[in-house]
Amino acid sequence: MKRKRILKKQILRLQYLETEYEDCLEIHDEAKREFEGAVRKLHYDLNVFDEDLDQNTPLPASNINDANPDTSDTAQAKKDPPPSWAKSLFRKIVKKTHPDKLAENLDKDTKELFKELYQEAKESIDRGDFVKIAMIANDLNMDLRNIEIKDFRTFREKEAELQEKIKKVKSSMFWSWAISTGEQKDKIMQEFLKSKGWTSPAALRQKSRKGNHPGKSIGWARTSSLKKEDEK
């Protein structure tokens, strides 16, 4: 019973960390879109030449000090063969969730859920994420007694891996942007201006567009670039 409780707690921690990581990525990605929109607006207003922006290419992550969090689990792929308990659980998951094996009397939502779990289990076994197999089996109320205490190290490694991913996202510039006030965002934008060299005399002489749009001053950018953020 003690082993079962330990494993149950470990799986609950992993489920929490997975949800936390997904939430952090969502906040990060929304902040990234907001920041890039503010940068492009500032670039237009200043009318300063920038090769990346004038060619309408994505902002390079290296220029904005992003931690570039890895959103896929392929980076943690393992080449080890699946342990016996993982193979056994995977077979049980397939038997219960494979689209060709679903009972006709199942409601639509349950069928969709099982199909998603099947696909997730298949991808997990292929990339060597055996802990995820156990988590899916637990969601399906399957017996996990074949997982030995010695195998718990793999679960602890998965926990440490998720914690490191969350830490990486929260150390990114975009996370800082997401949790900053208008004044703090203005400071971040000023750092970005310096990193891009938009305040240099050469940049100010070379305009992005010709004609009747000379561009606003860098002084204007310092005081007004994110004024709307303060008003929200």
| 154 located within any domain | no
| pLDDT of amino acid 215 | 64
Provide the residue count of the chain.
Answer: 232
> pLDDT of 96-141, one tens digit each?
999 998 988 889 999 999 999 999 999 999 999 999 999 999 999 9
Half-sphere exposure of residue 72, counting CA atoms within 13 Å on the CB side?
5
pTM, to two decimals: 0.74
> pLDDT-derived band of residue 229, with 50, 70 and 90 as boundaries?
very low
Alpha-carbon span 116 to 98, nearest angstrom: 10
Tokens for 3?
């082993």
Question: Ranked by mean pLDDT, which of 46-55, 83-92, 204-213 comes out on top?
Answer: 83-92
Half-sphere exposure of residue 121, counting CA atoms within 13 Å on the CB side?
28
Of 65-74, 93-102, 135-144, 175-184, where does mean pLDDT reach its minimum?
65-74
> pLDDT-derived band of residue 75, with 50, 70 and 90 as boundaries?
very low
pLDDT at 65 over 80: no
| 39 located within any domain | yes
What is the extent of the structural domain holding 3? 1-69+172-232
| 214 located within any domain | yes
In percent, the amount of the chain with pLDDT more than 70 equals: 74
- Cross-strand pairs, 207: 48
Phi, psi (5° rounding) for residue 207?
A: -90, 155
| 45 located within any domain | yes
Alpha-carbon span 18 to 20, nearest angstrom: 5
| 91 located within any domain | no
Q: What single DSSP character describes residue 180? A: -
Alpha-carbon span 153 to 132, nearest angstrom: 14
| pLDDT of amino acid 74 | 43
Domain count, the chain: 1
Residue type, 26: E
Backbone angle region of 231, left / alpha / beta, with phi > 0 → left and psi within -120 to 50 → alpha: alpha
